[in-house]
Structure 1
Amino acid sequence: MNDEALWRGGIFLLVLLLVAGMEFWQPKRSWRESRTRRWGINLSLIVMNVVILRLTLGAAAVLMAVHVQQQGWGLLNLVEWPVWLKFVLGLLLLDLAIYLQHVLSHALPIFWRLHQVHHADLDLDVTTGLRFHPLEILVSLIYKVAVVVALGLDPLTVLVFEALLNAASMFSHANIRLSPKLERVIRWFVITPDMHRIHHSIHRDETDSNFGFFLSIWDRLLGTYTQSPRDGHLQMVLGLDYCQQPQQVSLTKLLLMPFRPLPKPAAESKKP
């Protein structure tokens, strides 16, 4: 497990530095808030989550995958398919599972209480991709453990998916400018920053679309895909309509946010 932590940590730092460098040289949008303040808040949440995971469930998904393989549990252990095919199917099914979890995080108020912390960011950049309330991180890990058991996933599949998910989340939340032609091509396969930015729109109907983290196919197949924001990428307002002031998104207020009453959603017309 120490090797697993070093491996994931190394990939995390490499992707973080690479994407942050791209944001510095080719930003898509100007920032509303001080990046120093935002990074302080977001990195504090990230460090807090890492510490909490290491002190509690930690690498539970990988450990459960080891146990699942030893016991022969799960769907993929019921079939005699090639290892490579199980690996590919495992990655696809895990990505679909995370997509469905994301949809539920918006649809069910009990989960939205936690997930709104991620959406309360007034800007979007590489740090937003890993900015979650600690309780949501724990809920997500329990969910992934259940998926690992149900599907019968092996440890390598889980390790590779975790690395892909973290890297994809940092990339899709990045404030980087890609050429329109390149972006259109990439979007057919994976979530791009322009595609995911729509998910962080202040308009709730746009927020409730483009749920994918890694592959873009699930939004297209399951009817949750939005091509472009109604206000344009440069003018669109990010965040929550009930939380638009910097003083509302301090670290302390973000940690307490799930325990406060949910505001009633603002009335707005649906996008035609």
Structure 2
Amino acid sequence: MATYQILYLISIPLIIAAEYRFARNELFQDRYDRWFNNLSLGFINEAVLLASPVLIPLLLLPESPSSHLNPLLGALAAFLVLDLASYWLHRAYHHFGALWRLHRVHHCDLELDYSTTFRHHPGEVVVSLLVIYLVMATLALTPTQVIPYVIAVKAAQLLAHSNIRLGTRTDSLINLLFVTPGTHQFHHSRQQPQTDSNFGEVLTVWDRLFGTYTCPQSSPEPAAFGLDEFSEARDQRLGALLVLPIRSIRKTGRGPVW
């Protein structure tokens, strides 16, 4: 296990402790039931990640030549390119019906806390891996250049989904560049115009640049999270989440994002 993965695991109890101390919203759902379902998806997805060299053979990709860029500049360039690609991929998940079927597993969580970070369908993980591998192969990015972004996106998403209320001033300052819980909660709102905003994974600059930014300081906080069509307790079980992409939608109300 890589050092950054160990640090990531250590940070989870710290986030949980902060959620108890600085809770943004009162949680009403059975916490441990949600954690079981969400973390089970996380474990399945980690298995997919470990198997990815088999599912999506990196051996088929050409060896990346040694980068002539300064290591710091190379890592910064990779960071910006990958975060921009992640932004557009995230928008694609909301725009295209087949991709939304996978991504709605993440969005039908009725509450937000650290465990929502791990609530992704394995099919979505495979699609995201394909895109990231394609970007890496096309731009000949090296693992050394990519790892800083991997660390940043894991940390940012863990914080963004957490049930932590940062001080208004702190949130505003961080939010100038980076996604915060106050920013990302709008993306999980039950109201679609808010859901189809704040797509950034690490940086908020892409939403500002492409007109998909909802400002926390000028918008009332979401009244509820999740999806109306998957709001029953039976929809939140692990088995239901795994088959959710092939379930028919009783009511969609969804239109194109762009």
Counterpart in 1 of 2:134?
Answer: 146
Query: Percent same amino acid among aligned pairs?
Result: 33
Q: What SS does structure 2 have at the residue aligned with 1:12?
A: helix
1:61 touches 1:141 (CA, 8 Å); kept in 2?
Answer: no
Counterpart in 1 of 2:246?
Answer: 259
The alignment status of 1:246 with 2:254, answered yes or no, reads no
Q: Distance in 2 between matches of 1:170 and 1:62?
A: 27
Measure how far apart 1:157 and its partner are: 1.8
Distance 1:170 1:29, change over 3 A: same
* Cα RMSD (Å): 2.5
Measure how far apart 1:142 and its partner are: 0.9
Q: Distance in 1 between matches of 2:148 and 2:62?
A: 14
Counterpart in 2 of 1:205?
Answer: 193
Q: TM-score, normalised by structure 2?
A: 0.91
Q: Distance in 1 between matches of 2:5 and 2:254?
A: 43
Q: Distance in 1 between matches of 2:56 and 2:179?
A: 27
Q: What does 1:88-237 align with in structure 2 at a 5 Å threshold?
A: 88-228=76-216, 232-233=220-221, 236-237=223-224
Unaligned runs of 5+ in 2: none
Measure how far apart 1:265 and its partner are: 2.4
Counterpart in 1 of 2:28?
Answer: 32
Distance 1:193 1:225, change over 3 A: same
Unaligned runs of 5+ in 1: 71-76
Distance 1:243 1:63, change over 3 A: same
Q: Distance in 2 between matches of 1:16 and 1:122?
A: 20
2:71 touches 2:145 (CA, 8 Å); kept in 1?
Answer: no
Q: Distance in 2 between matches of 1:96 and 1:103?
A: 11
2:229 touches 2:249 (CA, 8 Å); kept in 1?
Answer: no
Count of residue pairs the alignment pairs up: 255
Distance 1:260 1:44, change over 3 A: same
Q: TM-score, normalised by structure 1?
A: 0.86
2:114 touches 2:163 (CA, 8 Å); kept in 1?
Answer: yes
1:62 touches 1:159 (CA, 8 Å); kept in 2?
Answer: no
Counterpart in 1 of 2:15?
Answer: 19
Measure how far apart 1:204 and its partner are: 0.8
1:46 touches 1:131 (CA, 8 Å); kept in 2?
Answer: yes
The one-character-per-residue Cα deviations of 1:200-219 (angstroms, maximum 9, x if unpaired) are: 00011110000011111000
Measure how far apart 1:12 and its partner are: 2.0
The one-character-per-residue Cα deviations of 1:31-75 (angstroms, maximum 9, x if unpaired) are: 1201111001011110111123223437979888992236xxxxx
